[in-house]
Chains A and B, each alone.
Chain A
Amino acid sequence: MHGSFGTPYNIMNNNCKWIGWIVAAGLACGTALALEPGDAAPEFTLTDTAGKEVSLADYQGKIVVLEWLNYGCPFVKKHYDSGNLPSLQKRYTAKDVVWLSINSSAEGKQGYMPGQELAEASEKRGNKATAILLDTDGKVGKAYGARTTPHMYVIGKDGRLAYMGALDDKPTTDQSDLGEATNYVAAAVDALMAGGGVEVTKVKPYGCGVKY
């Protein structure tokens, strides 16, 4: 039985199949407190870059995408420099989907910017979200269990979590693999818009840790 381990780590390649990271719908595994797909999305009220209050409740009955944001994180940079996230934001906000980018970096930590500066940085990077929100005390990030940037959540019209996890199946900082990436968020939103069920509801998030 040890014959298969002739070369150290030779099994590893098989372990890297991303499919193994996908947890099928309805499979409950995790701590009791952690949010799971199907749970009601926690309510929140945050301020946008202009200081205006934005609540999840404002968008009742709509599909909402939450995107945890830190422009200093190489994984986030990949998706802005390539135009990948701006094009998703543009595509879905044009179809009445609400897209909220949330910055949970604490003051003094990487990625933190006051409202005006965050608005300018977002403009420069082509962020086309419905609103860009400041969660400087990290309460909303922690309520959702946001671990990384970019950690993504998709909330259905029923106010329940339809998807949580990675943006796609390429946890790298390399733009060249975007062409062959499977985008879990796009798949979830498309399925919800078509009135169907979301196939992949939870995938391990990748990226940099949120700088709470």
Chain B
Amino acid sequence: MVRWFSMAAGVVFPCMAEVRSTHASAELLQSSKGYQAGSPVEVALRLSIDEGWHTYWVNPGEAGMPLSVEWTLPDGWVAGPLLHPAPERFTTGGLSGFGYSGEVVIPVFLTAAPEASGEVGIRAEVRWLTCSDASCVAGEAVLEASWVEGVVGPGKDADEIASALEMVPRPLKGAALHVEPLAERLRLELTLPGGLDPTGSRVFPVTAEVIDAAESIEFRADQGKWRAEVETGDYVSEPVEELELVITGGGIDKPLLVGWTAAQE
């Protein structure tokens, strides 16, 4: 069992700054300096990426590697998933990829242990891959954060984390995806509520390999539904059993997550 510290009162943590590694700098943001036992606390990983380089989304596309975090938390604390914002699409050396350039902020909800008390610290070992047109280089950083027990006003990063959470794709009531697997093709049918229009939206497959990264997905209006047809990915095992898509931009104002599984039908 990993025991990162449950600290004695009075020990001061070093003020954490950006950690630079190869072609990016990483920093751990905190929405607050205080926590309450059993309640969530928000953190976010901010990666500032050198110009001309990019990192990768959860589905990296034809090459690359998603960013990963190994958490070291006090006993009973739990880290939620990395909440990636919608990615951008890029092509390097003829290979299609999904990821980020410039700056990306990835929120994570931690939940304090029900019996947590005193000052606590966490550690995040972050690994990522940056690629440019010419090469790929791995980066890594060990980031730390600490909290005191009790209610403390919002920290300096609270607004930035709140904005980043707005960028995280979410399911929407009334939105649904249906997939009809055909021979080497998939027929996608999207239902959207309230007159939402995905024309001109960017569509990204969260599920790796079901749809090749090079394939572009464009929904068109067809008898009250939005439909698209795409080739099945080169490396998926058929029959296709699940697919999640992120849809953003165009007539979709907030990044949308829609999912389908064969089992639900």
Q: Which residues of A contact B (CB under 8 A)?
A: 1-2, 4-16, 19-24, 27, 29-30, 34, 72-75, 109-111, 147-148, 165, 171-174, 202-212
Establish whether residues B236 and A1, one from each chain, have CB atoms under 8 Å apart when the complex forms: no
Establish whether residues B208 and A22, one from each chain, have CB atoms under 8 Å apart when the complex forms: no
B171 contacts partner chain A, Cβ-Cβ < 8 Å: yes
Contacts of B153 in A (CB 8 A): none
Write the chain B residue with the least CB distance to A29: B184
Least distance between B31 CB and chain A CB atoms (Å): 18
Q: How far is the CA of A210 from the CA of B84 in the complex (A)?
A: 27
Establish whether residues A20 and B81, one from each chain, have CB atoms under 8 Å apart when the complex forms: no
Establish whether residues B93 and A8, one from each chain, have CB atoms under 8 Å apart when the complex forms: no
Contacts of A173 in B (CB 8 A): 65, 127, 129, 138
B83 contacts partner chain A, Cβ-Cβ < 8 Å: yes
Cross-chain contact of A15 among B63, B83, B208 (Cβ < 8 A): B208
Q: A12-B58, A15-B244, A30-B234 known; A210 and B93 CB under 8 Å?
A: yes
Return 24 A-B CB contacts under 8 Å, by A number.
A2-B171, A2-B173, A5-B171, A8-B169, A9-B82, A12-B58, A12-B244, A13-B81, A14-B242, A20-B237, A29-B233, A29-B234, A72-B135, A74-B136, A74-B138, A110-B134, A172-B127, A206-B63, A206-B65, A208-B63, A209-B136, A210-B93, A211-B134, A211-B135
Establish whether residues A211 and B83, one from each chain, have CB atoms under 8 Å apart when the complex forms: no
Contacts of B84 in A (CB 8 A): 9
Of the four ranges (under 10, 10 to 19, 20 to 34, 35 or more), the interface on chain B belongs to 35 or more
Write the chain B residue with the least CB distance to A13: B81
Write the chain B residue with the least CB distance to A24: B237
Q: Which residues of B contact A (CB under 8 A)?
A: 58, 62-63, 65, 68, 80-84, 92-95, 127, 129, 131, 134-138, 168-171, 173, 175-176, 184, 206-209, 232-238, 242, 244, 257, 259, 261, 264
Establish whether residues B169 and A109, one from each chain, have CB atoms under 8 Å apart when the complex forms: no
Establish whether residues A23 and B242, one from each chain, have CB atoms under 8 Å apart when the complex forms: no
Q: How far is the CA of A24 from the CA of B4 in the complex (A)?
A: 44
Query: Which of A1, A30, A209, A211 has most chain B Cβ within 10 Å?
Result: A209
Establish whether residues B136 and A8, one from each chain, have CB atoms under 8 Å apart when the complex forms: no
Cross-chain contact of B92 among A19, A202, A209 (Cβ < 8 A): A209
Establish whether residues A9 and B81, one from each chain, have CB atoms under 8 Å apart when the complex forms: yes
Contacts of B176 in A (CB 8 A): 1-2
**Count of CB-CB pairs between chains A and B under 8 Å:** 133
Q: How far is the CA of A22 from the CA of B84 in the complex (A)?
A: 26
Q: How far is the CA of A20 from the CA of B239 in the complex (A)?
A: 10
Least distance between A99 CB and chain B CB atoms (Å): 23
Establish whether residues A23 and B135, one from each chain, have CB atoms under 8 Å apart when the complex forms: no
Q: How far is the CA of A172 from the CA of B70 in the complex (A)?
A: 14
Establish whether residues A8 and B170, one from each chain, have CB atoms under 8 Å apart when the complex forms: yes
Contacts of A207 in B (CB 8 A): 63
Establish whether residues A8 and B209, one from each chain, have CB atoms under 8 Å apart when the complex forms: no
Query: Which of B65, B131, B176, B238 has most chain A Cβ within 10 Å?
Result: B65
Contacts of B238 in A (CB 8 A): 27, 29
Contacts of B233 in A (CB 8 A): 29
Query: Which of A5, A15, A30, A72 has most chain B Cβ within 10 Å?
Result: A15
Least distance between B251 CB and chain A CB atoms (Å): 20
Q: How far is the CA of A1 from the CA of B172 in the complex (A)?
A: 11
Least distance between B207 CB and chain A CB atoms (Å): 5
Q: A20-B237, A110-B135, A212-B93 known; A9 and B257 CB under 8 Å?
A: yes
